[in-house]
Chains A and B, each alone.
Chain A
Amino acid sequence: MTRPDRGDADGKPRAWGVVVALAGAFAGAVAWSVVTGPVPLSLREVVEAFRHVLATEPSRSPAARVVLELRLPRALLGALVGGALSSSGVAFQALLRNPLADPYILGVSGGAAVGALTAALLLPADASLPLPLCAFLGAALAAAGVFLLARRRSGVSRERLILMGVVVGAFLNAVIMMMVALSPPGKIPGAIYWLMGDLSLGTLRRVGLLVPYVAAGAGVLFLLSRGMDLLLLGDEAAFQTGLPVERVKTAVYLTASLLAGSVVAVSGLISFVGLIVPHGARVLVGSGHRRLLPAAFLMGGTFLVAADILARSMSASGELPVGAVTALAGAPFFLYLLRRNGGKP
């Protein structure tokens, strides 16, 4: 009974092995995504295209243009978005101590959607404020609004955060319905596609713009990982164990919202990645956030890139919005989770 069993003291070697394996899958998914597409390209042509980039000599071959201007940005965007949504989901689940929380639970999605629709409806087509920027502003405003509404002198309680998130989300949904219903025909098809989640907006420039946001957001969350471990204990116990609870909660909330808002701006509302992947990653490496965050990032990126490959190859004529594919895979999981949880939040 008291004999200490030696070996991997807290399952570490195996868990880090899993992270390395996930990194391999992540790289593999990106590579596979670059190689597959409607235009058949041989592996040699793809390698050739990259060789030209490395040698910084412009290549005029159409194969190189397909690879560098279409497939690579899209694969990288999928990897970044999937990773960021999953990391954000992990953070919201820890913050709210709720396994059913996702990056959109606190109004980010509604805010981003209103921002995107506003851009599509009100701004001229050649406006200097593009749709992603408006979506980001909308997400940031909504997240800040929910936070301020939930705040009291004693701090921010998770119950109030969820309540305010739901209220603000419902209000924004009503605004979205009004905007869609009252808009002149033909004005918002792009925005509708965006609402379903769409990786085709990826250009190398946008991916480049997104990288610092995702790197900073994921990096800050990683630095806060011990704090998130303690948040799982509940506010009082975390406080008594030495955590400056209110400051950590504020930092986690703002970082996770920024992360979700910045990727939503470019990719639209891709659902379920931020909800499913954290649970999958927890099964593999446990709840310790130092391992969970990297694992969820890699798993989320891999999952979304794979879903995008599926979305591009499922219909011969065009492609499905990737948000539809993730939700198709995600909905059954969601039901399973609810049932296993016995309906408990």
Chain B
Amino acid sequence: MTVPLVAGAKIHFSYGDREILSGVDLCVAEGEVTVLLGPNGAGKSTLLKILSGILVPRLGEVTVLGRPPASYGRREMARLLAVAGQDPPVDFPMSVEEFVMLGRFPHHGFFGGSTDGDRREVERALATTGLSGLRRRGLSEISAGERQRATLARAIAQGARVMLLDEPTAFLDIYHRVAFYEIVTGLAETCGVGALVASHDLSLCAEYGKRIVLLAGGQVRADGRPEAVLTPENIRDAFGVAVACDRNPATGAVRVTTVRREREKRV
């Protein structure tokens, strides 16, 4: 088996005395889209921060291409691993294009000017996310969904082999949600990017994710193909809601639908 792009083994992490993760194993493979599901507070964002080196786990170890994150220089690491998370800042005027160009920092560094190559990558990222027409607009002048796409464009422009995406579709309409999964699976298939997507889109991720990891109570509850992970039992255990799981007649992918009233009866 090849070395996974990013792997976490037996990760333990706590904020103060509140344990968030207790022994989580997870890896991101080349050319694969893995979706990380789990209720609010399950530790999805914390796990992404640990994998990107922002937080250091109390126990367990993280490897990026077989080496610990701290063994890489910052820029070297950013060329391997890109993250799209928080909402971008709107305190200062910055155009969409300038913002996406910041993703090229690991390639041109402090002193190099942005090359034609950098501009091509930015162009491509803007076109991929459908933002070419908004390039001159300020980040504060566009909608939250458009800002979220700009954040994705910045991560794409970074040209990394791994992308960690923290709820990248939270503000997107259904068209752009679908477009997001198309973009990410496209990057995985054509460029071999390994993507880890923390999300709440149960049915969409079943359609697009090769692999789903269900995180709840600080542990991995299930890890595998969508039809193995997305079962009524798993989802009830993790989220405390009753659902019905069947197949989408058009595609054959798992489809998750909530069942009314069941929740009160169970809890």
Chain A residues engaging chain B, CB cutoff 8 angstroms: 1-5, 9-11, 93, 97-99, 223-224, 226-227, 229-230, 232-234, 236-237, 239-244, 282-283, 286-288
The verdict on B167 contacting chain A, using a C-beta distance below 8 Å, is no
Is the pair B95, A236 in contact by a Cβ cutoff of 8 Å?
A: no
Q: Which residues of B contact A243 (CB under 8 A)?
A: 74, 105
Is the pair B86, A237 in contact by a Cβ cutoff of 8 Å?
A: yes
Q: Which residues of B contact A234 (CB under 8 A)?
A: 86, 89
Q: Least Cβ distance of A43 to chain B in Å?
A: 41
Task: State which of A97, A226, A283, A286 has its C-beta within 8 Å of the C-beta of B109.
Answer: A226
Q: A227–B154 Cα gap in the complex (Å)?
A: 16
Q: A244–B158 Cα gap in the complex (Å)?
A: 16
Known: A1-B133, A241-B158. A10 touches B78 (CB 8 A): no
Q: A10–B135 Cα gap in the complex (Å)?
A: 9
Q: Which residues of B contact A232 (CB under 8 A)?
A: 89, 91-92, 94
Give the most central of A9, A93, A236, A287: most B CB within 10 Å: A287
Q: Least Cβ distance of A8 to chain B in Å?
A: 10
Task: Tell me which residues from 80 to 106 in chain B have a Cβ below 8 Å from any Cβ of chain A.
Answer: 81-83, 85-86, 88-89, 91-95, 97-98, 101-103, 105-106
Is the pair B98, A288 in contact by a Cβ cutoff of 8 Å?
A: yes
The verdict on B132 contacting chain A, using a C-beta distance below 8 Å, is yes
Task: State which of B74, B79, B136 has its C-beta within 8 Å of the C-beta of A239.
Answer: B74
Task: Tell me which residues from 34 to 73 in chain B have a Cβ below 8 Å from any Cβ of chain A.
Answer: 49, 52-54
Q: Least Cβ distance of A242 to chain B in Å?
A: 3
Chain B residues engaging chain A, CB cutoff 8 angstroms: 49, 52-54, 74-79, 81-83, 85-86, 88-89, 91-95, 97-98, 101-103, 105-106, 109-111, 119, 123, 127, 130, 132-133, 135-136, 154, 158
Is the pair A282, B103 in contact by a Cβ cutoff of 8 Å?
A: no
Q: Which residues of A contact B78 (CB under 8 A)?
A: 240-242
Is the pair A239, B98 in contact by a Cβ cutoff of 8 Å?
A: no
Is the pair A99, B95 in contact by a Cβ cutoff of 8 Å?
A: no
Q: Which residues of A contact B95 (CB under 8 A)?
A: 10-11, 286
Q: Which residues of B contact A244 (CB under 8 A)?
A: 74
Q: A324–B68 Cα gap in the complex (Å)?
A: 56
Q: Can you list 9 A-B pairs with a CB-CB distance of less than 8 A? A: A1-B133, A9-B97, A97-B91, A99-B92, A226-B105, A236-B49, A236-B86, A240-B78, A287-B98
Is the pair B93, A2 in contact by a Cβ cutoff of 8 Å?
A: no
Q: Least Cβ distance of B159 to chain A in Å?
A: 11
Q: Which residues of B contact A97 (CB under 8 A)?
A: 89, 91-92
Is the pair A239, B91 in contact by a Cβ cutoff of 8 Å?
A: no
Is the pair B86, A98 in contact by a Cβ cutoff of 8 Å?
A: no
Is the pair A241, B93 in contact by a Cβ cutoff of 8 Å?
A: no
Is the pair B132, A1 in contact by a Cβ cutoff of 8 Å?
A: yes
Q: A227–B88 Cα gap in the complex (Å)?
A: 16
Beyond A1-B132, A226-B111, 7 additional contacts (C-beta under 8 Å) are A10-B98, A97-B89, A226-B109, A229-B98, A233-B88, A240-B83, A242-B106
Closest to B110 in A: A226
Known: A2-B133, A226-B105, A237-B85. A282 touches B97 (CB 8 A): no
Q: Least Cβ distance of A2 to chain B in Å?
A: 5
Is the pair B89, A233 in contact by a Cβ cutoff of 8 Å?
A: yes
Known: A10-B97, A97-B89. A236 touches B79 (CB 8 A): no
Q: Which residues of A contact B93 (CB under 8 A)?
A: 282-283, 286-287
Q: Which residues of A contact B86 (CB under 8 A)?
A: 234, 236-237
Q: Least Cβ distance of B155 to chain A in Å?
A: 9
Q: Which residues of B contact A233 (CB under 8 A)?
A: 88-89, 102
Q: A242–B77 Cα gap in the complex (Å)?
A: 7
Closest 8 CB pairs of A and B: A242-B78, A242-B106, A242-B75, A240-B83, A1-B133, A287-B92, A2-B132, A244-B74
Q: A243–B110 Cα gap in the complex (Å)?
A: 9
Q: A109–B91 Cα gap in the complex (Å)?
A: 25
Task: State which of A2, A224, A287 has its C-beta within 8 Å of the C-beta of B94.
Answer: A287
Q: Least Cβ distance of A79 to chain B in Å?
A: 26
Task: State which of A2, A99, A236, A241 has its C-beta within 8 Å of the C-beta of B130.
Answer: A2
Is the pair B132, A237 in contact by a Cβ cutoff of 8 Å?
A: no
Q: Which residues of B contact A230 (CB under 8 A)?
A: 102, 105
Q: Which residues of B contact A224 (CB under 8 A)?
A: 110
Q: Which residues of A contact B53 (CB under 8 A)?
A: 239
Q: Which residues of A contact B136 (CB under 8 A)?
A: 11
Q: A9–B102 Cα gap in the complex (Å)?
A: 15
Q: Which residues of A contact B77 (CB under 8 A)?
A: 242
Q: A239–B69 Cα gap in the complex (Å)?
A: 12
Is the pair A241, B123 in contact by a Cβ cutoff of 8 Å?
A: no
Q: Least Cβ distance of A18 to chain B in Å?
A: 15
Task: State which of B54, B97, B109, B158 has its C-beta within 8 Å of the C-beta of A236.
Answer: B54
Q: Least Cβ distance of B147 to chain A in Å?
A: 12
Q: A4–B97 Cα gap in the complex (Å)?
A: 12
Task: State which of A99, A229, A237 has its C-beta within 8 Å of the C-beta of B83.
Answer: A237
Q: Least Cβ distance of A230 to chain B in Å?
A: 6
Task: State which of B76, B102, B119 has its C-beta within 8 Å of the C-beta of A229.
Answer: B102
Known: A236-B49, A282-B92. A10 touches B101 (CB 8 A): yes
Known: A241-B105, A242-B79, A244-B74. A236 touches B85 (CB 8 A): yes
Known: A237-B86, A241-B106. A223 touches B111 (CB 8 A): yes
Closest to B87 in A: A234
Is the pair A9, B119 in contact by a Cβ cutoff of 8 Å?
A: yes
Q: Which residues of A contact B106 (CB under 8 A)?
A: 241-242
Q: Least Cβ distance of B30 to chain A in Å?
A: 20
Closest to A94 in B: B92
